[in-house]
Chain A
Amino acid sequence: MNCQEFERTIIDLGCDHLMEAPTPARALAHAESCARCAARLNRERRMTAGLQAFAVEEAAINAPERVGSALRAAFDEQRAAAASPAGLLRFARHKPLWGMAAAAMLLLSTVTAALWLREQRAKVNNAPADLISRPTSQSPPGKSPETLSDPHQARETHSSRVARSAVTRGRRRTHRVKEGADNAGELFPLTFVAKSGPTEFVQTVRIEISRSTLMSMGLPVNIDRVDGLIKADIIIGEDGVPRAMRIINN
């Protein structure tokens, strides 16, 4: 071992620190042969002795009694809180858990509200869809052909649809229905309608018809303009037989 290597081991050697087996023996052998390193080693050992004496003197220092008293009080308080039947006290110490629970509740309520609103909007949009999407071909769902055969029922059906659409879709959508119907009037069932199934596919055909013909069918017509033509929609069933008619007010 040379002086440089000795210098690397001097701290551990001076403190009698544990080292690998051959190292202390080699270092001590070098110190015996080198006066400078021997002096260095003595110096380190005296330093270690000084530090150890300092440590012994320091060991007598204790924390003031008030520190212990305060901690004992805190410990007793904590133990009492932990032993109390209200588990909330224990839970209250975990503030992060409270925060997380509140955040979860907020998130849950937000998602629930969003889903509910989405469902309500879907209901509103789907309810009048059949009225909007079929301006020229109608198959009144859930209505049997008898409803068309009864003039009062047919009148009620149309007006109730309009009223329903006014309620559910608001003023704008109701206006669209009226526009889509070309200011059409009420449906008049034709008396010779044959019975048909509830799922019958009907078509609407727009025609021009003389007022005199309408008069012959028993419909109210302005007598002063009896020679003129008026527009009307004829509802024709699958068998080609007209089911109802409505006057277009243009």
Chain B
Amino acid sequence: MKIAPSTSSDVELLRLMLAGDGGAFEQLYQRWQSPLYRFALRMSGSETIAEDVTQEVFLTLMRDGRQYSGRGSFAAYIFTIARHRVWRRLQRERWFVNLEIEEGVESDAGLTTDRLIAQADPLADLTRGEMVEAVRRAVIALPAHYREVVLLCYLHELSYAEAAEVIGCELGTVRSRLHRARALLAEKLDAMKTADAPQRNVKLSRRLHELPGI
């Protein structure tokens, strides 16, 4: 998460921004534009929606920022607004958003610990770039309500309690969704690894042929 060099708290910056301080607005924007944009981008799969959502969140702050009571964390507050906007756009434009195939919610019902243990580690033998790309594809392919807990807890480092506040559910629900999301991720990574295996073998054989003396 990109943090601006300012040491002022988000609440203080918000207060100053609402009082008309342009510097405070700039700092708050620099601090939060990237997390909000990325969250919206990974949730919607659309750069247009991500831009709109980022803009709408800050416009909401300008208009209704005084409604923030300071009781919960500012991160939870701002992600709650973003999540609401994203879901509304997804529901409105669901036929036009180019998301990768989402599997059904119950598709992970057959996942068991034994299966997870029996499978080979899908991220083993991958370079860092390949691993990042594989995880990115797997995360994007998660069903939306699993994807959002992964994004909030792992990419934006919200606590379970903050994620529960953003989503509007119980703490235990966040835990269980994370558990299932990780199991689904492992399954998708396995599937990807299996699908990519022939291609990887071709690449590997080419490299071997390029080596001197072979």
Residues on A lying within 8 angstroms of B by beta carbon are 3, 7, 11, 14-15, 36, 39-40, 42-44, 46-55, 57-59, 61-64, 66-68, 70-72, 74-76, 78-79, 82-83, 93
Contact = CB atoms under 8 A, between A and B. Distances in A.
B1 interface: yes
Given A11-B178, A47-B123, A53-B128, A40 B113 contact: yes
B182 interface: yes
Given A54-B135, A62-B33, A78-B62, A67 B22 contact: no
Interface stretch (B52-60, B69-77, B97-105): B52-60
Contact of B58 (A43, A49, A54, A71): A71
B41 interface: yes
Contacts of A48: 154
Nearest to B51: A67
Given A54-B155, A75-B22, A75-B62, 20 more contacts: A11-B179, A14-B182, A39-B117, A40-B117, A43-B116, A43-B121, A47-B186, A49-B131, A53-B135, A55-B154, A57-B136, A59-B34, A63-B33, A63-B36, A63-B37, A68-B29, A72-B26, A79-B22, A82-B20, A93-B63
A62 B58 CA distance: 15
B1 to A, nearest CB: 6
Given A63-B50, A67-B37, A68-B33, A76 B131 contact: no
Q: Is the interface of A mostly helix, strand, loop or mixed?
A: helix
Query: Across chains A and B, which 9 residue pairs bring their CB atoms closest together, nearest first?
Result: A63-B37, A50-B135, A54-B135, A51-B154, A55-B155, A63-B33, A79-B20, A46-B123, A63-B54
15 contacts: A7-B113, A43-B116, A46-B123, A50-B123, A50-B134, A51-B155, A52-B154, A53-B131, A58-B42, A59-B34, A59-B38, A63-B33, A68-B29, A71-B55, A74-B62
Interface in B95-122: 113, 116-117, 121
Contacts of A50: 123, 131-132, 134-135
B206 interface: no
Greatest chain B CB density within 10 A among A63, A64, A82 is at: A63
B116 A40 contact: yes
Contacts, number: 111
Contact of A76 (B22, B132, B155): B22
B135 A63 contact: no
Nearest to A66: B51
Interface of B: 1-2, 17, 20, 22, 25-26, 29, 33-34, 36-38, 41-42, 47, 50-51, 54-55, 58-59, 62-63, 113, 116-117, 121, 123-124, 128, 131-132, 134-136, 139, 150, 154-155, 157, 175, 178-179, 182, 185-186
Contacts of B139: 51, 54
B51 A63 contact: yes
A64 B62 contact: no
A67 B55 contact: yes
A3 B113 CA distance: 10
A74 B29 CA distance: 13
A42 B135 contact: no
A3 B185 CA distance: 22
A204 B134 CA distance: 114
B182 A44 contact: yes
B131 to A, nearest CB: 5
Contact of A54 (B25, B54, B113, B132): B132
Nearest to A35: B117
A200 B209 CA distance: 138
Contacts of B1: 59
A14 to B, nearest CB: 8
Contacts of B63: 93
B33 A67 contact: yes
Nearest to B154: A51
A178 B103 CA distance: 93
A111 B105 CA distance: 58
Contacts of A82: 20
A162 B124 CA distance: 113
A62 B34 contact: yes
Contacts of A64: 47, 51
Nearest to A12: B175
A70 B58 CA distance: 11
